[in-house]
Copies of this chain bind each other. A is one copy, B any other.
Amino acid sequence: MVDITPKSTTLRKAIAQAIVKVSKPETIQAIKNKAVPKGDVLECARVAGLFAAKRTADMIPDCHPLPIEFTSVSYEVEEMEVKVLVEIHTIYKTGVEVEAMHAASVVALTMYDMLKPIDKGVSIEQIKLVEKRGGKSDRQGKPG
């Protein structure tokens, strides 16, 4: 684990994405209409993502425990896919990009788990960092 004791505390933000691909338009309709038997997919998965953001250091060996001071989970719902976007802020010595990617992956897995009774062809694509601010390497990508 990297020694961050000498690092200075700054505001850091990261946005990560995950893409959930479905195999038929009816699946997206069921999500929108809140007609999936296991519950409101987007809201359930959002809650799972809030918990996942906070538990990243529990799952990834070298991640430092850090004060998650903001997490938002949002969605862009397309015809055959849902893009999950997770944004996390902290004021600390190290960034939150892995936290954002971890939360995005858990949001996507929760969606997969809730959708599999109605669509056997769901997969998760492109978990990646979209934007990172604060620390020495600000970076801004282009959502896939």
**How distant is the Cα of A21 from the Cα of B11 in the complex, in angstroms?**
29
Range of interface residues on chain A?
35 or more
B93 touches A63 (CB 8 A): no
Q: Is the interface of A mostly helix, strand, loop or mixed?
A: mixed
B106 touches A112 (CB 8 A): no
Contact of A38 among B44, B58, B62, B98 (CB under 8 A): B62
Given A47-B47, A124-B127, A59 and B106 contact (CB-CB distance below 8 Å): yes
A109 touches B98 (CB 8 A): yes
**How distant is the Cα of A46 from the Cα of B57 in the complex, in angstroms?**
15
Given A51-B58, A55-B59, A4 and B64 contact (CB-CB distance below 8 Å): no
Report the nearest B residue to A72, measured CB to CB: B1
Listed from nearest, the 9 A-B pairs whose CB atoms lie closest are A3-B70, A124-B127, A47-B47, A123-B128, A43-B43, A105-B105, A1-B71, A50-B61, A4-B69
